[in-house]
Amino acid sequence: MELRVLNYFLAIAREENFTRAAEQLHVTQPTLSRQIADLEEELGVKLFIRSNHNIVLTEDGMILKRRAQEILSLAEKTKRDFLQKDEALTGTISIGSGEFRSTEYLAKIIAEFHKKYPDVKYEIYSGNANNIRDYIERGFLDIGLMSEPIDLRKYHFLNMPTKEQWGVFVPDNSPLFLKTSISPQDLVGMSVITATGDFNQSRIGKWLGDYKDQVDIVATANLPYNEAVLAKENIGVMLSLNLNCFYENLRFIPLFPTLEVSTALAWKKEQIFSSATSTFIDFAEQYLKSITSDEL
């Protein structure tokens, strides 16, 4: 299976038409058809259902589309890592990050590193801890800023110098609006919007304890902004980290007992990195040590 043929396959899947795909790829339609027929024979499956006007992917075709996108993305990233190995540090560093207050420290690290190595570029991916770990494992991300605990068997990591605080964002017409803290009992019978994930096993699920079955999880989302939009429309109160963001008509109230989490910048053990990524990790370690020393 060649990368060139996977590019052909994705072009056809995108255009849903052999003629348009051939024009885009600057190859003849018979050549394109033959390459796809050979690919189908190699895999032993049909990839497209053909009609007079367009084509659609089969179930096997949809699986290959997802895998082909991953393979080509990883191949492109690998190629970038080997290009331009001259004295000036160059390359692209792929960093995943959840939405945290500690992201400000990550931004400061990148800003200082950029002053020293202006030719290095960055790809920033936003997601939750599961997304980021998965992308690191598959090689699409070099480093990830994620909440602890971190799997010590798989990752090296640097602790970030701040705690993330959980609380509830409530609209101004909520009966909870004037409270100074929110206890699990306060949420009994309430409609709640919170982060995507296994609620029962989440920190919030454990914090609610025996009351979790008496809370109505009306919606989940993987980005706090989307949760806030729902909360503003009175769909429910928003259980979230305090990101120091201002959401119009919503007020943040901390949880009691207090619920805080730590975050860390993590990367895979025994991973071979590009010079840019290796240098960035060393720089981040020294930067965070200097912050800790200053605070002491």
- Tell me which architecture the domain covering 91-159+263-295 has in CATH: 3-Layer(aba) Sandwich (3.40)
> CA torsion sign, 10 to 136 to 291 to 119?
negative
Tell me what pLDDT residue 164 has: 95
User: Domain ranges in the chain?
Assistant: 3-75, 91-159+263-295, 163-261
Question: What average pLDDT does range 95-102 have in this prediction?
Answer: 94
The domain 3-75: what is its CATH number?
1.10.10.10
Q: How far is it, in rounded angstroms, from Cα 163 to Cα 99? A: 13
> What are 257's two structure tokens?
């007992």
CA distances from 38 to 5, 6, 42, 219, 249 (A): 10, 12, 6, 46, 59
Instruction: For domain 163-261, give the fold.
Output: D-Maltodextrin-Binding Protein; domain 2 (3.40.190)
Domains 91-159+263-295 and 163-261 share a fold: yes
Tell me what pLDDT residue 294 has: 57
pLDDT higher than 90, residue 166: yes
Residues 6+ apart with CB under 8 A from 243: 99, 100, 101, 224
Between residues 225 and 123, the one the model is more confident about? 123
- What percent of the chain clears pLDDT 70, i.e. is strictly above it? 94
pLDDT higher than 50, residue 102: yes
